[in-house]
Amino acid sequence: MSKAAELAALIANVNNGSSLAAKNFIINGNMNVAQRGTSTTGLGADGATYNTADRFCHSLGNTAGRFTSAIIADGPSGFANCLKLSCTTADTSVAATEYFHLQHRMEGQNLQSIAKGTADAKPITASFYVKGNASATYVAELYDADNTRQISKTFSVTTSWSRVELTFPADTTGALDDDNALSLQLAIHLHDGSNFTSGTTNSSAWASATTANRGNSSATSFFDSTSRTFFLTGVQLEIGEKATEFEHEPYEATFRKCQRYYLKRQAGSAYSYWGSGHNASATAARLHQNFPVEMNHIPVLETTAADTFYAYSIDTVALSDVPTINNPSVWGSAVTFPTGSGTLTAGRGANAIARDSTSAYLAFESEL
């Protein structure tokens, strides 16, 4: 796009209600943040899991297909990283109920400027860069979880990076809730059974969700071959009918946004400290963890095994069980480190440290 065309698109979108800054509703669209790790193999079991790129969810059901999700140093000009999905087990006998959707879930209070469900509703445009091992066609869907409404559009993938630009019309029906819960998701359908494809793709206007109209019968199945790959980066969703240049932001800005949903504190050395607290009893040390940003909702605690931690009060004490969450809020939580052995002195100061393990971590998760 020429600079003049880019400026015209930007002005058109601003006139439609978009912002010059913070215009992208997608968090981590350039795949720069991967707190959980940069590669996970053997994915494909039923469920919705976050494994590599922060904020991007692998949602699967009923398929025998398996894949690897990875963040790799590849991308079109201006992008250092992308999400690469590689099929490792094919599934060519596709049952009606099967699906694999790559989702980005957004909370309603961040989407009020779209004015969805009002007479002033705005069109929105999704854009992203894709490539694959071969030509393919997939479906991108916007799904309104508050009002069970949706709209889908197909897009093409080639073996070279190309930018997909999809404009979705305004929807004057179904306001998005002004709260912290899931309201809207952008989903890329990579594999759909006939339950999703037996109707006619609902592509021209938002409508009450009918499962059969969410996919497309001509779309490619990501699980059709073990040579199948799908690369994605530069994901943007903005107000307006034009896709404007991807909004790059400082790493720490994206990182902070991601921490609202997942916050990982990994040992930086073999005996890293996680902060201080006290011995709540003779058999447990307790620390308080403050969160750098308010989390989306009260989180769960994710940890490594008990033998990757010590309670430390005067001396190191092995844990008898895994750490547990205690009286959490959206801004912080106590974490209890049980020792079981009765060797601690209640009330005395305590720490928790890694037990000769750089893989040890505490993480708090409040994904939508």
Residue 10 Cβ, how far from another protein at the closest point, in Å?
38
Residue 334 Cβ, how far from another protein at the closest point, in Å?
10
Q: Which residues, 339 to 368, sit near another protein by CB under 8 A?
A: 367
Reference 144, options 177, 99, 119; nearest CA is: 177
Decide whether 13 or 283 has the Cβ nearer to another protein: 283
| Cβ 122 vs Cβ 15: under 8 Å | no
Residue 316's φ and ψ, nearest 5 degrees, are -80, 140
**Rg over CA atoms, the chain:** 23
Decide whether 47 or 349 has the Cβ nearer to another protein: 47
Residue 321 Cβ, how far from another protein at the closest point, in Å?
7
Decide whether 9 or 360 has the Cβ nearer to another protein: 360
Return d(Cα 34, Cα 76) in angstroms, integer. 19
HSE-CB at 227 with a 13 A cutoff on CA atoms is 5
* Alpha helices (runs of H) in 248-304, residue ranges in sequence order: 251-259
Decide whether 7 or 346 has the Cβ nearer to another protein: 346
For position 179 contacting another protein by CB under 8 A, the verdict is no
Q: Contact region for another protein (CB under 8 A) — 4-12, 85-93, 94-102, 297-305?
A: 297-305
Residue 137 Cβ, how far from another protein at the closest point, in Å?
30
Residue 187 Cβ, how far from another protein at the closest point, in Å?
18
- Tally: H helices and E strands in the chain: 3, 23
Sheet containing 273-281, strands listed edge to edge, beginning at the edge strand earlier in sequence: 315-318, 309-313, 349-354, 273-281, 284-290, 332-338, 324-326
Task: Please list, in sequence order, all residues whose beta carbon lies within 8 angstroms of the beta carbon of residue 252, skipping any fewer than 6 positions away.
Answer: none
For position 297 contacting another protein by CB under 8 A, the verdict is yes
Residue 297 Cβ, how far from another protein at the closest point, in Å?
7
Tell me how many residues contact another protein (CB under 8 A). 26
Residue 15's φ and ψ, nearest 5 degrees, are -65, -25
Decide whether 142 or 182 has the Cβ nearer to another protein: 182
Return d(Cα 144, Cα 206) in angstroms, integer. 9
Binding mask 299-338 for another protein (x = CB under 8 A): -xxxxxx---------------xxxxxxxx-------x--
Lookup: tokens for 173: 């029906």
For position 59 contacting another protein by CB under 8 A, the verdict is no
Residue 301 Cβ, how far from another protein at the closest point, in Å?
4
For position 298 contacting another protein by CB under 8 A, the verdict is yes
Give the residue carrying structure tokens 């109707």.
Answer: 199
Please tell me whether residue 118 adopts helix, strand or coil conformation.
Answer: coil
Decide whether 51 or 259 has the Cβ nearer to another protein: 51
Task: Report CA-CA distances (Å) from 191 to 86, 132, 229, 337.
Answer: 13, 15, 13, 43
Q: Which residues, 108 to 137, sit near another protein by CB under 8 A?
A: none
* Burial call 38-54: b when 16+ CB within 10 Å, e when fewer: eebeebbeeeeebbbbb
How many C-beta atoms lie closer than 10 Å to residue 120's C-beta? 11
Residue 182 Cβ, how far from another protein at the closest point, in Å?
10
Residue 121 Cβ, how far from another protein at the closest point, in Å?
29
For position 205 contacting another protein by CB under 8 A, the verdict is no
Binding mask 266-295 for another protein (x = CB under 8 A): --------------xx-xx-x---------
Lookup: tokens for 347: 């009330």
The residues of the shown chain that bind another protein, judged by CB under 8 A, are: 45, 47, 49, 280-281, 283-284, 286, 297-298, 300-305, 321-328, 336, 367
